[in-house]
Structure 1
Amino acid sequence: MARIVILTGAGLSAESGLGTFRDKDGLWTRYALEDVATPEGFARDPALVMAFYNARRANMVAAAPNAAHRALARLEAARPGEIRIITQNVDDLHERAGSRAVWHMHGELARARCAACGAVWPAPAQMRPADACPDCAAAATRPDVVWFGEYPYHMEAIWEALRAAELFVSIGTSGQVFPAAALVQDAARAGAETLELNLEPSEVSRDFEETRLGPATELVPAWVAEILAG
């Protein structure tokens, strides 16, 4: 079981050019969350939702892992079996940087899912509401992304990992989205040390033993160097 459990959020990928919910000129500002990030929005206008996630997927493909992603991949390579990354991000930058021990609790832009049978497959660049499921042929294709009101992936495994962790580190998260925002409390109750690395204090900074502020591309490589030197 991993000794160090790392939660990553939108702030980690922001320096790769992928916007957060709060970017004032970002992709999210042109859409209402209830229209593109809820099951109800998808039911009302699936074409709008597909267009939104097609645009996000294109942004992801054009982006590249940054120094923070690469540092976490180095840490995992140096400490095999000791690192687990839990990410709220739906991009694939962790994997493209070389990380393998990654759980995407909010799903992945690179995958499509059938709402009828649950099958999952690699998403094409352009998804359409009429796309047929390759397993059951139903026209029930949707992005494999966890929307508001839906249950995140891997939660039982995440709680088990937190119970066994010696250190919990949160990187680039706002602390506004649950249950991810409560993971620090779960880790602390289990006896883990807790550290926040963030551009600014999150909504749950008070729950961490230590908070370091600055860009992820500076903080994360420095922290990884400390761990590897210890």
Structure 2
Amino acid sequence: MRELSVTESVPEDVVALVRDARRVVVLSGAGISAESGVPTFREVQRGLWERFSAEELATPDAFDNDPALVWTWYRWRQSLIDAVEPNAGHRCLAAWQEHLSAQHGWLAVVTQNVDDLHERAGAEVLGHLHGSLAAHRCADCGEPAELPAPRYDGFTAPPTPEDPPGCESCPDGVLRPDVVWFGEMLPAPAFDAAAAAIRAADLVVVVGTSGIVQPAASLPLLGLERGIPLIEINPEETGLTEVMDFAIRGRSGEVLPRLLSAAGVPTGRR
């Protein structure tokens, strides 16, 4: 593994990997969203929720015990995400995806994030491994439901909890966020699609993920088994660093514009 700093010149062998790749998988985590100012999982424990840990709220049991409290916490988290914008890292990945598509290749974005910043930057996402805050389904029958965006007052926590809406498809069901709670399985279609894409890729890039949350952290190992080059972009060493071919230390919004520009990928940045 070769570790590089964002302040160094981009090595030609890394540039060549990006320039020559036609089938790319990008695995993204919380770090890329943090660059947009998205509060982390544990930075939203205020107001109604200050006496709870995030882990206490992100479980099926918590929702069963107090659905209004959990529902309002997730809706507020969604409003905080709606208040920020995609950053240069998100936009560069969207531009790379568009470039490869024009070259008859593809770039698959697979994210552990529950936000929609990749989509708002213009990228198509192959899979949200941990679900999406903007999606909802019935807690009983599982039927998906569409809701308008929440309208909370900026970063001020709501003063009172609100009950989740009822399901329109079954008589007793209520809606829940379509995210993966502790103790729940990852959505099989998203995980299987990610695994298949990695097996077909000629380059895997891991951006802003700690590499410790399983089973998502096991996905790059599928590339390792097949000898597919692995590049990590993260300010710090992670649980995946030791299996990477290259680890570039820096924020995605700094590294990706330089890397793609050096590889001749137009990003629309001046």
Asked whether the 8 Å contact 1:171–1:216 carries over to 2, the reply is: yes
Asked whether the 8 Å contact 1:10–1:19 carries over to 2, the reply is: no
Partner of 1:188: 224
| Pairing partner for 1:125 from 149, 156, 159 | 149
Aligned-residue offset at 1:190:
2.2
Matched, 1:207 2:243: yes
- Letter aligned with residue 138 of structure 1: D
Q: Which residues of 2 match residues 1-230 of structure 1 at below 5 A?
A: 3-21=23-41, 26-28=43-45, 30=50, 31-80=52-101, 81-126=105-150, 128-153=162-187, 154-229=190-265
1:168-222 deviation line (CA, Å, top 9, x unaligned): 1110001121111111111111221101001211122111111001122101222
The number of residues matched between the two structures is: 226
Task: Give the share of equivalent positions with the same residue, in percent.
Answer: 41
Which structure 2 segments of 5+ residues have no match? 1-21, 151-160
Tell me how far apart the structure 1 counterparts of residues 244 and 231 of structure 2 sit (CA, whole Å).
Answer: 6
Q: 1:130 to 1:20 in 2, by over 3 A?
A: closer
- Letter aligned with residue 137 of structure 2: R
Aligned-residue offset at 1:86:
0.2
Asked whether the 8 Å contact 1:197–1:216 carries over to 2, the reply is: yes
Tell me how far apart the structure 2 counterparts of residues 200 and 122 of structure 1 sit (CA, whole Å).
Answer: 38
Provide the secondary structure at the position in 2 that maps to 1:169. Answer: strand
Tell me how far apart the structure 2 counterparts of residues 228 and 38 of structure 1 sit (CA, whole Å).
Answer: 45
> Structure 1-normalised TM-score?
0.90
Q: Which runs of 4+ in 1 moved over 6 A?
A: none
Provide the secondary structure at the position in 1 that maps to 2:204. Answer: strand
Root-mean-square deviation (CA, aligned residues, Å) is 2.1
Higher alpha-carbon deviation: 125-134 or 51-60: 125-134
1:10-57 deviation line (CA, Å, top 9, x unaligned): 1001111102346xxx21584413321111222222122112111111
Asked whether the 8 Å contact 1:70–1:97 carries over to 2, the reply is: yes
Tell me how far apart the structure 2 counterparts of residues 15 and 73 of structure 1 sit (CA, whole Å).
Answer: 16
Tell me how far apart the structure 2 counterparts of residues 37 and 227 of structure 1 sit (CA, whole Å).
Answer: 41
1:45-83 deviation line (CA, Å, top 9, x unaligned): 212211211111110110111111110110111111510
Provide the secondary structure at the position in 1 that maps to 2:134. Answer: strand
Tell me how far apart the structure 2 counterparts of residues 213 and 83 of structure 1 sit (CA, whole Å).
Answer: 22
- Letter aligned with residue 44 of structure 1: N
Provide the secondary structure at the position in 2 that maps to 1:84. Answer: strand
Aligned-residue offset at 1:124:
3.2
> Structure 2-normalised TM-score?
0.77
Tell me how far apart the structure 2 counterparts of residues 199 and 177 of structure 1 sit (CA, whole Å).
Answer: 18
- Letter aligned with residue 75 of structure 1: W
